[in-house]
């Protein structure tokens, strides 16, 4: 069954080139991962629309405008949190990013700021700009000065569709809402990937109500394993 066709459409929203092949074997039976199989995963990884446990993060290269740089997913050398958002989102994205800000704080308290990077990808390049990102960060308590949080921005809606929906398998659809959000909104799936430094997905968390303690614990486990193996 082809992994970009199942459980990734907008029905799932209601309830994500390869980044470094790896030959490492950790504690799991699956090659290249640290954590054990994800018990709350909805289906086998190959049957999901987004990259899930034991699969590689797709290759993409996107601008990180607040840092004045470009992020190449194939060149990441840190454990990464990857998700897709738009800053005008009236509900899910704000909840998710607020919780990820809490994870960022917990990681800082563990002394792992330099080992983890947060990469929320906007699929609304027509409205999301530097000002929108800064306002979003200030509102939600995200620490941009830590240097490990980068909003990523496709150049065009077409590129957003390619990277977010086609490559990462996170479905979204623009809808007309003339009474708010400057004329349009999005319905979208909410998926957050935890990717190890070899570019292999360790966890794919669904929904905006992520457990900050769980995500932090997973990050710490992965970071520690890679630190000890280097």
Per-residue pLDDT of 139-166, as tens digits, reads 999 999 999 999 999 999 999 999 999 9
Q: Looking up tokens 């190449």, which residue turns up?
A: 72
Q: How far is residue 3's CA from residue 136's CA, in Å, rounded to a whole number? A: 33
CATH class as words, domain 10-229: alpha beta
Q: What are the sequence ranges of the domains in the chain?
A: 10-229
Q: How far is residue 44's CA from residue 41's CA, in Å, rounded to a whole number? A: 8
User: Confidence band (pLDDT; 50, 70, 90) for 180?
Assistant: low
Non-local (6+) Cβ contacts of 20 within 8 A are: 56, 74, 197, 198, 199, 200
End-to-end Cα, the chain, rounded Å: 36
Non-local (6+) Cβ contacts of 54 within 8 A are: 30, 31, 32, 33, 45, 200, 201
Reference 16, options 106, 109, 119, 135; nearest CA is 119
Q: How far is residue 132's CA from residue 125's CA, in Å, rounded to a whole number? A: 11
Neighbours of 209 (CB within 10 A): 11
Parallel, antiparallel, or unpaired for β 61-64 and 183-188?
unpaired
Q: How far is residue 43's CA from residue 31's CA, in Å, rounded to a whole number? A: 19
Task: Report CA torsion sign: 83, 89, 93, 97.
Answer: positive
Under 8 Å between Cβ of 192 and 204: yes
Token pair of 165, please? 């929906």
What pLDDT was estimated at residue 3? 30
What pLDDT was estimated at residue 186? 93
Per-residue H/E/C for 119-151 = EEEECCCCCCCHHHHHHHHHHHCCCHHHCCECC
Per-residue pLDDT of 89-106, as tens digits, reads 989 999 999 999 999 999
Per-residue pLDDT of 55-65, as tens digits, reads 999 999 999 99
Percent of residues, the chain, with pLDDT higher than 90: 80
What pLDDT was estimated at residue 29? 60
Under 8 Å between Cβ of 192 and 82: yes
Rounded mean pLDDT, 112-122: 98
């Amino acid at each position: 069954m082809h992994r970009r066709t199942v459980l990734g459409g907008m029905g799932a929203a209601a309830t994500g080139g390869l980044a470094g092949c790896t030959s490492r074997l950790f504690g799991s039976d699956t090659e290249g991962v640290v954590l054990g199989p994800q018990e709350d995963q909805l289906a086998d990884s190959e049957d999901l629309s987004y990259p899930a446990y034991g699969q590689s993060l797709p290759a993409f290269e996107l601008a990180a405008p607040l840092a004045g740089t470009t992020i190449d997913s194939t060149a990441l050398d840190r454990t990464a949190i990857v998700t897709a958002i738009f800053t005008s989102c009236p509900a899910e994205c704000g909840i998710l990013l607020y919780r990820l800000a809490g994870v960022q704080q917990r990681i800082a308290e563990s002394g792992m700021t330099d080992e983890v990077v947060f990469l929320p990808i906007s699929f609304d390049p027509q409205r999301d700009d530097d000002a929108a990102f800064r306002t979003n960060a200030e509102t939600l308590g995200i620490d941009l000065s830590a240097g490990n949080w980068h909003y990523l921005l496709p150049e065009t809606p077409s590129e957003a569709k390619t990277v977010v929906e086609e490559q990462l398998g996170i479905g979204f659809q623009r809808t007309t809402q003339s009474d708010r959000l400057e004329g349009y909104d999005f319905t979208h799936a909410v998926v957050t990937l935890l990717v190890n430094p070899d570019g292999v997905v360790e966890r794919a968390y669904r929904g905006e109500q992520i457990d900050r303690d769980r995500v932090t614990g997973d990050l710490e486990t992965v970071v520690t394993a890679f630190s000890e193996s280097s």
